[in-house]
């Protein structure tokens, strides 16, 4: 389907979807989950062939995706309004209600083909808000996108979901389409910035909720510099071939011995192929660049897992950039000397023992200023889909640090509050 037809269908469906009760939206989103589960074998096989991701990983992702639809649907059914009785002039009540923004453009991500793809959190949260969606398929996964799109199209009302495909020109056309009222995106900083610029240049600018690059620093304090921490971090760096937005990209430690142990553990773990040849080539280029200037501990295979070990004072340039793939920068030095120089991230993690509480307390204000989620004695990979989750962060992690793309608060991106002052009770939505 072309962009103009898809956006036209979404515009026609928008009033009906906006007027639907919360119970009807819950039924609609549960129907999406119910459509995915029976097709699980076909979905997983198709996604495996296109992505190289492991079967266990994709089956877990499918379960999360279905649960996400159900959870967002249940949340949509809950009444949401704020009431200030007699607060306005003349003693009128003020009642605030949520109103869907209208058709939403969603850009499927490559690294989570189900949970952040066509059937991902942006799609589910927009539908829960009462907005039709037009999803742009990721070009690396056309068969997966088509299969998921067919399943959703059969489960949803006409016009509530449409799928388009193509390259950068199609992406920009979709964002510039007059009927689109908001954008959800997960991908690169370059791609997100291009969509933001296109949205801002419209005669009527629209918001772009973009999740982009993230270094996800990890601080390992002396009391936690043991083998358990080494194993947990090495697995988080190499899992899914290091292609997660929450992959630890930088570990800060004062212990040179811990740095050596972690580097060796990363290099020793096996990894599967990367999502696309372009991503694999970028990983190889980063390995070559890092090896020419720093100490690199690398494993075998393509892609080869590797760690770059440097002094904290040398952290500049590409050492502070996100690198997709099974790689890690380990900096030896005092964490406090580095944190203030880091850009915004989705996450920041602290590994600490009981004797490290005072040190952690001193570092916490800087972490709060630079990340959207702080993890204590745990890896940042694995994002719980729950009411309290915040999957966002300061620039360049996201374009809107106050918003989240995971958890029920993600729905709020696609509806706006309207205050109704003095309306008779029988007219209130």
Q: Which of 50, 211, 261, 409 is catalytic?
A: 211
**CA 101 to CA 18: how far, in whole Å?**
9
**CA 3 to CA 16: how far, in whole Å?**
21
Q: What is the chain's alpha carbon radius of gyration, rounded to the nearest angstrom?
A: 23
Q: How far is CA 354 from CA 201, 222, 361, 401, in A?
A: 52, 10, 12, 32
Q: Which of 131, 245, 261, 409 is catalytic?
A: 245
**E-strand stretches of 246-322:** 250-253, 295-298, 306-311
Provide the residue count of the chain: 429
In terms of DSSP bridges, do strands 182-186 and 208-211 run parallel, antiparallel, or are they unpaired? parallel
**CA 118 to CA 165: how far, in whole Å?**
11
Contact 373, 214 (CB under 8 A): no
What is residue 164's DSSP assignment? E
Contacts of 412 (CB under 8 A, 6+ apart): 98, 129, 403
Q: What token pair was written down for 315?
A: 């952290």
Residue at token pair 């600018």? 205
Q: What token pair was written down for 323?
A: 């690198």
Strand partners, 360: none
In terms of DSSP bridges, do strands 327-332 and 250-253 run parallel, antiparallel, or are they unpaired? parallel
Strand partners, 332: 253, 311
How many angstroms from the chain centroid is the CA of residue 413? 14
- Is residue 322 annotated as part of the catalytic site, yes or no? no
SS3 105: strand
- Is residue 245 annotated as part of the catalytic site, yes or no? yes
User: How far apart, in Å, do the first and last CA atoms of the chain sit?
Assistant: 35
SS3 198: helix
**CA 365 to CA 400: how far, in whole Å?**
20
Contact 103, 11 (CB under 8 A): yes
Contacts of 154 (CB under 8 A, 6+ apart): 35
The residues annotated with a catalytic role in the active site are 211, 245
């Amino acid at each position: 389907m072309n962009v103009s037809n898809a956006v036209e269908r979404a515009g026609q469906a928008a009033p009906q979807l906006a007027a639907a009760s919360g119970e009807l939206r819950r039924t609609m989103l549960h129907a999406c989950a119910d459509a995915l589960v029976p097709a699980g074998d076909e979905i997983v096989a198709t996604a495996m062939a296109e992505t190289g991701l492991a079967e266990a990983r994709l089956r877990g992702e499918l379960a999360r995706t279905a649960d996400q639809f159900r959870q967002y649907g249940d949340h949509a059914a809950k009444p949401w309004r704020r009431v200030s009785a007699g607060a306005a002039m003349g003693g009128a009540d003020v009642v605030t209600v949520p109103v869907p923004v209208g058709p939403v453009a969603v850009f499927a991500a490559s690294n989570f083909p189900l949970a952040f793809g066509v059937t991902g959190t942006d799609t589910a949260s927009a539908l829960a808000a009462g907005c039709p969606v037009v999803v742009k398929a990721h070009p690396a996964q056309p068969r997966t996108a088509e299969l998921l799109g067919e399943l959703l199209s059969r489960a949803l009302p006409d016009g509530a979901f449409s799928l388009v495909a193509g390259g950068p020109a199609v992406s920009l056309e979709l964002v510039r389409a007059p009927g689109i009222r908001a954008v959800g995106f997960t991908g690169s900083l370059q791609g997100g910035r291009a969509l933001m610029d296109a949205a801002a240049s419209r005669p009527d600018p629209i918001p772009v909720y973009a999740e982009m690059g993230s270094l996800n620093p990890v601080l390992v304090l002396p009391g936690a510099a043991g083998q358990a921490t080494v194993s947990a971090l090495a697995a988080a760096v190499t899992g899914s071939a290091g292609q997660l937005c929450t992959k630890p990209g930088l570990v800060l430690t004062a212990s040179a011995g811990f740095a050596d142990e972690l580097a060796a553990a990363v290099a020793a773990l096996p990894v599967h192929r990367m999502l696309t040849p372009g991503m694999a080539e970028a990983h190889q280029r980063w390995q070559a660049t890092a090896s020419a200037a720093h100490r690199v501990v690398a494993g075998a295979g393509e892609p080869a897992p590797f760690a770059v070990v440097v002094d904290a004072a040398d952290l500049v340039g590409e050492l502070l950039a996100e690198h997709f793939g099974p790689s890690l920068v380990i900096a030896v030095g005092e964490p406090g000397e580095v944190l203030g120089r880091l850009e915004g991230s989705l996450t920041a993690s602290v590994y600490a023992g009981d004797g490290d509480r005072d040190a952690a307390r001193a570092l916490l204000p800087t972490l709060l200023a630079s990340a959207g989620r702080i993890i204590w004695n745990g890896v940042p990979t694995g994002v719980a889909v729950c009411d309290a989750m915040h999957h966002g962060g300061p620039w360049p992690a996201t374009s809107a640090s106050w918003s989240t793309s995971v958890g029920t608060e993600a729905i709020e991106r696609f509806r706006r509050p309207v205050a109704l002052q003095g309306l008779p009770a029988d007219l209130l939505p």
